[in-house]
Amino acid sequence: MAPKRKQQPSQAMTSGGAAKATVNSQNNYVRIANLFLAYIKEVSPDLSAKWKTDWEAVAEKYAADKEIYEHLATYVSSVYTIKDGDKNESRNLSSKVAQQTWSGLIQHQQRRFGKSTDAATKVCRARVAVSPSDLCSVLTSCAFSLRQTFFECLKGDQQTPEGAWWLGIRKKMNREAFQAEMFGPDRMDQTPNELFAQHVVAIVEALSKVNTAEAAERKLAVITLWRMAGRAGEPAFLSFEGLQWNRLHGTPCMECPQSKPSKLKFVPFVAGADRYPNPNPNPNCK
């Protein structure tokens, strides 16, 4: 009897906050973003001088600008590789994951500045004469308007410039990921090679030559699967006790349920003229 696990104290669930899986995903997005900024520092120091090396410290005037996300899209699509020890290590992100990461990082900055009141990071392109006492409120309102306009891209409305830009970048990311998979080390098409009658005959012949109980079981499995037209779930209903002798055709057969048409079918096991092919046939034998 297995020992009882130690019971943990009960924890109250709060109405706010995100689930653990969501928090882990967001933390992973930020980790990738910091790797992106480290990469930018190495290859484009002029951009790094603006964006720095901490994603959660990027100034608002850059976090609400398209330029940083256009470079980020290139990075997550074709530069970043999955870390060692994880599934698919040393490979690029799939198009779906790359798009999720990219959009997730835009949402992260949207949350950062959703209620920001720091005038030092605000953006205001309007050149108007204002008094020093009103400068802070003007900067705040201008920045809020520009920031809200950019983050409208997350709605994916192709009728707006921001939405059309967001959709266009995602489409380009999908193309980039597809091209990387096309010329990658692994085949895109994971469909196994087709087997035909001559392959089955060769396999059965080889197993017959081994002439052991295990080889006989394997031979029966191969023949059964071939008779089932490749539907590997159907041989599960095969058993020696379930075989019936078909007097009309002189062969053993089994009853096999079909889930799609909700019917039963009888599968015969016919020896066939090519069950034991002779590689050196004797023309004198009839």
**Residue 48 tokens, joined:** 């790094």
Residue 215 CB burial class (10 angstroms; 0-12, 13-18, ≥19): middle
Per-residue pLDDT, 23: 84
Per-residue pLDDT, 16: 65
- Strand 244-246 to strand 263-268: parallel, antiparallel, or no bridges (unpaired)? unpaired
User: Got the DSSP string for 21-52?
Assistant: HHHHHHHHHHHHHHHHHHHHHHH-HHHHHHH-
Question: Which of 219, 185, 177, 221 shows the shortest CA–CA distance to 202?
Answer: 219
Q: How far is CA 65 from CA 61, 136, 162, 188, 252, in A?
A: 7, 21, 11, 35, 73
Please give the chain's pLDDT, 286 residues, in tens: 556 667 778 877 777 666 777 888 889 999 999 999 999 999 999 999 999 999 999 998 899 889 999 999 999 998 998 888 888 788 888 888 999 999 999 999 988 887 665 554 444 443 444 455 555 554 444 444 445 578 888 888 888 899 999 999 998 988 887 777 766 666 666 667 777 888 888 998 999 999 899 998 898 888 877 776 655 566 666 667 777 888 887 888 877 776 677 777 777 776 654 544 455 555 554 4
Give residue 204's identity as a one-letter amino acid code.
V
